[in-house]
Amino acid sequence: MNSGKTAVVTGAGTGIGKATATALLRNGWNTVFVGRRQALLDEAVAQAGPTEARALAVSCDISREDDVESLFKTIVDTFGRVDLLFNNAGMSYKSTPIDEIPVSVWTHMVGVNLTGSFLCARAAFGAMRRQSPQGGRIINNGSVSAYAPRPGSVPYTATKHAISGLTKTLALDGRRFDIACGQIDIGNALTDMAHAMTVGVPQANGTMAVEAVMDVQHVADAVLHMAGLPLDANVLFMTVMATKMPFVGRG
């Protein structure tokens, strides 16, 4: 079934983004798979299988304003409107004390995790504000690190705390345009990025420990729930996590 609605998912070539974009497509959303590597995006679309809804794979560097503007022009030209943005794309870095983190790593991570989310939200908000009927939904990927840091994670944690501020402000500013904004904070979904959890990662007490993980499909299902709400209802913040991971009390 094709709902006629259009979803945009960044970081859709792998992991959480791929699982979520696939779930949206299979549930009737025309879905734009966005990422840096066209081949991975094309493969993700192919693996989703035949669907009544339409898929579009677009390579884009979300940290570049021109790329993002071109992306959303392509989306509007193709589908006519933007109903959902899942601001998912992001990067991390190995656990490192702040004085050993290269400034280039900080700059790159801020560019992708924060500026990229801002640019995509900015373009989506503009499209949602101008289209008829007006409105749409933006869902930001915050992470458990938006609340509680891991050791040696200054750049990642700082950007994820900032995403919470972006979410709250968009939720406020979007009201008069029927634009809802919420945030999903994910803990230990099993993706390539989270594989280290299964072999041992640094803990706050100085030890290394294996952590519980969960199937990434649970994240996709949660985003699908948030996306399916009418625009007069919103999940402002949702935490989806492996039940036994260290977060509540960080232990």
Which residues are annotated as catalytic? 156
Beta bridge partners of 97: none
E strand or H helix at 180, and its extent? strand 179-187
**CB within 8 Å of 200: residues ≥ 6 apart:** 208, 209, 210
CA distance 33 to 57: 5
CA distance 68 to 73: 9
Give the helix ranges, DSSP H, for 13-115. 15-26, 38-48, 65-79, 103-109
Q: Provide the residue type at 125 as one letter.
A: F
Tokens of 179: 């634009």
Look at phi and psi of residue 207 and say left if phi exceeds 0, alpha if psi is from -120 to 50, else beta. Answer: beta
